[in-house]
Structure 1
Amino acid sequence: MNILITGAGRGLGLELAAECLERGHHVLAGLRRPDEAGEAFRALASKHGERLEAVRLDVSDEPGIAELAARLSGQGRPLGAIVNNAAVLEARETPIERLDLAFMESTMDINLYGPMRVAKHLLPLLTELDAALVNISSEAGSLTNAYPGDYPYTLSKAAMNLLTEQLARVLAERGAIALSVHPGWMRTDMGGEQAKLDPRESARGIADLIERRIVVPEGFRFVDYKGRPMAI
């Protein structure tokens, strides 16, 4: 399976790339600056060779995404999975009275419009058998469990969950699935060192969802990394 992962240079994206490679898949690792890939990514590339392909992919750059889609299409390369993982977390714990709305604009541009740009140009290539679109969401995007603070991040993830529901209906017509996945509170740059979950464990669950080893119950497509339904 050809699996495209955005934000694959570190954190969950890098761990998911590693897990998918271990399972024998070909990974197109979306990086904003492939020539500046970190040591961990270079080590992964050295281990897996041509099955790990770094591609220039900045989710805020629509012309660049369109160019990537055209190149893959010209090469006759279908996709089996797209994972929208790239995201930012800004203005943490900022009361709305002090919130600079520029953070709302930049966060929505990456966390919501980014996946929309990817879907716009790359969904036509998502044609492998039992294909999957996975949007990495968060429990913070649940209306039921809404809490004050983190306005840019939580609002962007709630909107992403609705985007997933819309795309799921489109993809169902071709036998593909779309999921919003809460990856858990992980020890990453975003999650911090206090987090209890190893990102590789989350990556294993997400890979199981992509491969349909885990069958998601009927209903909303918002689940955790083990396929368990999340509160909307």
Structure 2
Amino acid sequence: MNILITGTNRGLGYELTVQAVERGHKVIAGVRSSRPEGQLLELMGRYPGQIEVVELDVTKEDTIARLAENIKAQGQVLEAIINNAGVLLGRGVPLEDLSMDDVVRTFQINLFGPIMVAKHLLPLVPKNNSGVVINISSEAGSLTNAYGGDYPYAISKTALNMFSKQLRALVKKQGIGTRVFALHPGWIRTDMGGDKAPGDPRENARNIMDIVESKTEIPAEHFFINFKGEPMPI
């Protein structure tokens, strides 16, 4: 399976890459710089030929379009797209102190990025039942459980959920068998989640890869799910 994952240098993106290559898949690893470093570089050494690091800044449409052109020119397809790159800015900041620059930056990465990735790369997913697009969302994006905080992050994830629903309707209308999910990865111990998070990113990445591989049975009506494939409150 050929899998594109954005934001692979660290955190969940890195752990998803680990799980994918351990299972024998090839990963197109999107990073803001085309130069791999640290743990990702070490992983490439352990799995030669399975990881292709590419420049992919989700705030810059030209890098996304160029990647799509290169993949197409090489005669490749994408069986899975995981929009993982994201930021959490303005955490805990009250509304009266909220930086609108943080809001704009958050939407550029958490929402506009996945939209542009889908715009350019969805056409490279085969028109059969094996393809999947996973947009990494959050329980913070639930309208039902809105808690009045983390405004940039929560609102961007709510919007991402809506886009995921629209994308699912689009592929259905076009007769494309691609599965589309907005996925809450759990509160996990990463730079974003912090050291106090209860979740293990490696374990949750393992569960997410089970969803990618269709090993987890998910009812057709569920589009906003958690890392175990269970429905999340919209």
Specify if TM > 0.5. Answer: yes
1:120 — aligned with what?
119
Query: What letter matches 2:112 in structure 1?
Result: Y
Is 2:220 aligned against 1:218?
A: yes
Q: Distance in 1 between matches of 2:197 and 2:2?
A: 31
1:184 — aligned with what?
186
Question: Does the 8 Å CA contact 2:127/2:177 hold for their aligned counterparts?
Answer: no
How far the C-alpha of 1:220 sits from its partner, in A, is: 3.6
Name the SS of the counterpart of 2:48 in structure 1: helix
Question: Does the 8 Å CA contact 2:127/2:176 hold for their aligned counterparts?
Answer: no
How far the C-alpha of 1:231 sits from its partner, in A, is: 0.4
Is 2:111 aligned against 1:107?
A: no
Question: Does the 8 Å CA contact 1:165/1:220 hold for their aligned counterparts?
Answer: no
Question: Does the 8 Å CA contact 1:182/1:223 hold for their aligned counterparts?
Answer: yes
Name the SS of the counterpart of 1:30 in structure 2: strand
2:155 — aligned with what?
155
Query: What letter matches 2:184 in structure 1?
Result: H
- Which sections of structure 2, spanning at least 5 residues, go unmatched? none
How far the C-alpha of 1:128 sits from its partner, in A, is: 6.7
How far the C-alpha of 1:98 sits from its partner, in A, is: 1.1
Q: Distance in 2 between matches of 1:205 and 1:38?
A: 26
1:30 — aligned with what?
30
Q: Distance in 2 between matches of 1:73 and 1:218?
A: 30
Question: Does the 8 Å CA contact 1:223/1:229 hold for their aligned counterparts?
Answer: yes
Matches within 5 A, 1:26-65: 26-35=26-35, 37-65=36-64
Query: What letter matches 1:101 in structure 2?
Result: M
Deviations 1:116-147 (A, max 9, x none): 01001000001174100000000000001101
Q: Distance in 2 between matches of 1:124 and 1:57?
A: 17
Q: Distance in 2 between matches of 1:57 and 1:215?
A: 31
Superposition RMSD on alpha carbons, in Å? Answer: 1.0
Query: What letter matches 1:17 in structure 2?
Result: T
How far the C-alpha of 1:102 sits from its partner, in A, is: 1.2
Is 2:3 aligned against 1:3?
A: yes
Question: Does the 8 Å CA contact 2:2/2:78 hold for their aligned counterparts?
Answer: yes
Q: Distance in 1 between matches of 2:220 and 2:66?
A: 36
Matches within 5 A, 1:58-207: 58-127=57-126, 129=128, 130-172=130-172, 173-207=175-209
How far the C-alpha of 1:218 sits from its partner, in A, is: 3.2
How far the C-alpha of 1:219 sits from its partner, in A, is: 2.2
Q: Distance in 2 between matches of 1:170 and 1:225?
A: 24
1:13 — aligned with what?
13
How far the C-alpha of 1:96 sits from its partner, in A, is: 0.8
Structure 1 stretches of 4+ moved >3 Å: none
Deviations 1:34-82 (A, max 9, x none): 32x3321111000001111101100001011101101111111000000
Aligned length: 231
Identity %: 48
Deviations 1:171-197 (A, max 9, x none): 232111000110001000000000111
- Which sections of structure 1, spanning at least 5 residues, go unmatched? none
How far the C-alpha of 1:22 sits from its partner, in A, is: 0.7
- TM-score by structure 1 length? 0.97
